[in-house]
């Protein structure tokens, strides 16, 4: 029996994740348990596409499927990049190209797999390392004040902690980041293979009405929304991600289960999508627009919630 072929074409980026997720879905319902990965016609890869592909294949393998062959991108630059960013090694494939490794500090964060930890200390260390690396890429390319750096550190930490806390991702999650000087952008993507935003939020009875009226992702973006039934702390990750991205005039993407939300400087959209087994959060910062914390003060939808969000080591 021939293996199922996951064949990807064009750019692997936020707007094409639904195509990638659909192929993962089709693999699950195809006969057999073997699949090939064909990347020959991939032209470009953003962090969102890289983490989605890595996490999706980890998900398939947990379901009993086996990757048996890989066809490299015909574009040698893309093939080099995918090896350098760590995709092939994460898939268990030995280096297939000879590349010269250079210091990535301030330019990108290699694909980081955060495994389901054996204990809290392991999770804490893994998260801190990944967040510090991502913050370093952002602050190396975007003008951010010290208190703004603390704000971003807190936001990235909470979003990443959700992989182990609210998402309950037994397969862990991924973090990846990349700068694009020509486009004046920095991308940071965080993904998990957990229960999804809606299932997490419904644990708190106070969220039921909000979810029913606005949808799960838009509810999660509201101020102070948390999955904790006691409503004690939390609720800053996605809310402040949205606020920071809006002030920076970048883009925010949230993909959870069958719902895909995109925030741009001009609009916000929510649409149905093939079911992703977890949540993907994509942050795109503009490098030519400073992040000014002073602009957050006096906003009615934020109020005094800023008081504790700057307290983090940088």
Check residue 221 and give its pLDDT.
Answer: 92
Domain that holds residue 22: 1-95
- Indicate if 159 and 291 belong to the same structural domain: yes
User: How many distinct structural domains can be found in the chain?
Assistant: 2
Check residue 314 and give its pLDDT.
Answer: 45
- Indicate if 221 and 263 belong to the same structural domain: yes
Query: pLDDT tens digit string along 192-208?
Result: 999 999 998 988 888 88
Query: pLDDT tens digit string along 106-138?
Result: 899 999 999 877 677 887 888 999 999 999 999
Percent of the chain scoring above 90 in pLDDT? 66
- Indicate if 65 and 113 belong to the same structural domain: no
- Indicate if 112 and 76 belong to the same structural domain: no
- The CATH number assigned to the domain holding 270 equals 3.30.565.10
Structural domain ending residue among the three candidates 72, 95, 118: 95
Q: For residue 247, what are its two tokens?
A: 């002030």
Q: Is the confidence at residue 313, as pLDDT, over 50?
A: no
- Indicate if 63 and 152 belong to the same structural domain: no
Q: Taking residues 242-268, what's their average pLDDT?
A: 95
- Indicate if 196 and 276 belong to the same structural domain: yes
- Indicate if 86 and 213 belong to the same structural domain: no
- The CATH number assigned to the domain holding 64 equals 3.30.750.24
- Indicate if 122 and 213 belong to the same structural domain: yes
- Indicate if 85 and 210 belong to the same structural domain: no
Structural domain ending residue among the three candidates 55, 70, 95: 95
- Indicate if 43 and 154 belong to the same structural domain: no
Q: Is the confidence at residue 211, as pLDDT, over 80?
A: yes
**Model pTM score:** 0.91
Q: Is the confidence at residue 312, as pLDDT, over 70?
A: no
- Indicate if 75 and 223 belong to the same structural domain: no
Query: pLDDT tens digit string along 65-119?
Result: 999 999 999 999 999 999 999 999 999 888 777 766 667 778 999 999 998 776 7
Which helix (H) or strand (E) is 273 found in, with range? strand 268-286
Q: Taking residues 51-72, what's their average pLDDT?
A: 95
Q: Is the confidence at residue 307, as pLDDT, over 70?
A: no
Contacts of range 214-218, beta carbons closer than 8 Å, 24 or more positions apart = 215/259, 215/270, 216/256, 216/257, 216/259, 217/254, 217/256, 217/259, 217/261, 217/270, 218/261, 218/270
pLDDT grade, residue 304 (50/70/90)? very low
Q: Is the confidence at residue 298, as pLDDT, over 60?
A: no
Structural domain ending residue among the three candidates 46, 64, 95: 95
C-alpha–C-alpha distance, residues 295 and 53, integer Å: 37
- Indicate if 145 and 198 belong to the same structural domain: yes
């Amino acid at each position: 029996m021939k293996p199922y072929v996951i064949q990807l074409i064009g750019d692997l980026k936020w707007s094409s994740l639904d195509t990638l997720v659909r192929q993962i879905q089709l693999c699950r319902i195809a006969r057999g348990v073997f699949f090939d990965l064909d990347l020959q016609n991939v032209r470009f890869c953003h962090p969102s596409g890289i983490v989605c592909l890595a996490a999706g294949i980890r998900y398939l393998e947990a379901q009993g499927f086996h990757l048996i062959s890989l066809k490299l991108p015909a574009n040698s630059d893309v093939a080099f990049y995918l090896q350098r960013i760590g995709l092939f090694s994460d898939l268990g494939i030995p280096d297939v190209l000879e590349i010269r490794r250079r210091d990535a500090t301030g330019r990108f964060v290699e694909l980081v797999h955060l495994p389901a930890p054996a204990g809290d200390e392991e999770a804490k260390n893994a998260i801190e390392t990944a967040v510090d690396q991502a913050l370093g890429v952002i602050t190396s390319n975007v003008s951010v004040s010290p208190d703004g750096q603390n704000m971003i550190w807190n936001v990235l930490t909470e979003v990443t902690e959700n992989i182990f806390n609210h998402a309950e991702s037994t397969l862990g999650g991924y973090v990846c980041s990349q700068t694009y000087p020509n486009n004046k952008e920095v991308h940071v993507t965080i993904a998990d293979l957990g229960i999804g935003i809606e299932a997490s939020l419904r644990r708190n009875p106070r969220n039921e009405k909000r979810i029913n009226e606005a949808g799960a992702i838009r509810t999660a973006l509201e101020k102070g929304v948390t999955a904790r039934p006691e409503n004690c702390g939390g609720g800053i990750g996605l809310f402040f991600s949205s606020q920071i991205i809006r002030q920076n005039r970048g883009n925010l993407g949230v993909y959870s289960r069958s719902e895909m939300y995109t925030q741009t400087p001009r609009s916000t959209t929510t649409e149905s999508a093939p079911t992703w087994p977890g949540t993907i959060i994509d942050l795109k910062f503009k490098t030519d627009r400073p992040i000014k914390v002073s602009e957050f003060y006096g906003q009615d939808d934020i109020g005094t919630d800023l008081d504790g969000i700057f307290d983090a080591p940088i």
